[in-house]
C-alpha cells in the first residue's frame, strides 16, 4: 500500500472559502496561519506538490498590527530594473497607503518560491475595509490561534 497522493481534480471538488478579520491581529502570526490554509496543510489529505488548499479572504487589512518598532524600522524594497531604480517604503507608509499589499507580501513570503507558490497567491483575496464581493461563495469564518 503506497502513500495516497491527491489529484488536482479531487482537490477542486473539496475547496472551501474562509474569511479572516485582521482587525487587531499581529501581521506575522496572521500571515503564517493564512499561508497554512492556502497551502492545504490543515487537511488530512495534504499533498506537497499539488494545490489542495482553500481560498482565504482577509478583511480589515488596515487594522493589522506590527509589534515592536517594525512600523518605523521595517523597510520594503522594490526595483524598477533600471539603474538607480530602487524604491523603498516603510511599513508605516505601506499600512496607510496599501494595507492589502502589506498582508499579501507577508503571506507570499511564507509560500513556496515556485509555480505552485504563485498559483497559491491567486487564492488570497485581501481588502482594506470590512466589505468583500465574495458573499456568493458563502465563506466561513476562520478561527485563528492566538
Domains located in the chain, CATH noted: 15-66+98-141 (3.90.1180.10)
- Look at residue 141 and tell me whether its pLDDT is greater than 70: yes
Which one has a higher pLDDT value, 105 or 144? 105
Residue range 4-26, pLDDT digits in tens? 788 878 777 789 999 999 999 99
- Look at residue 126 and tell me whether its pLDDT is greater than 80: yes
Number of Cα atoms under 13 Å in the Cβ half of residue 77: 5
Place of cell 471538488: 13
pTM score over 0.75:
yes
Amino acid at each position: 500500500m503506497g502513500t495516497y497522493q491527491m489529484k488536482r481534480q479531487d482537490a477542486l471538488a473539496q475547496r472551501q472559502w474562509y474569511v479572516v478579520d485582521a482587525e487587531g491581529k499581529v501581521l506575522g502570526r496572521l500571515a503564517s496561519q493564512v499561508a497554512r490554509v492556502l497551502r492545504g496543510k490543515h487537511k488530512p489529505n495534504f499533498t506537497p506538490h499539488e494545490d489542495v488548499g482553500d481560498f482565504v479572504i482577509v478583511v480589515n487589512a488596515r487594522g493589522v498590527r506590527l509589534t515592536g518598532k517594525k512600523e518605523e524600522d521595517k523597510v520594503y524594497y522594490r526595483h524598477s530594473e533600471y539603474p538607480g531604480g530602487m524604491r523603498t517604503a516603510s511599513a508605516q507608509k505601506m499600512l496607510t497607503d496599501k494595507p492589502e499589499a502589506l498582508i499579501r507580501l507577508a503571506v507570499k513570503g511564507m509560500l513556496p518560491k515556485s509555480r505552485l507558490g504563485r498559483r497559491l497567491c491567486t487564492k488570497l483575496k485581501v481588502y482594506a475595509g470590512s466589505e468583500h464581493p465574495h458573499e456568493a461563495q458563502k465563506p466561513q469564518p476562520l478561527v485563528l490561534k492566538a
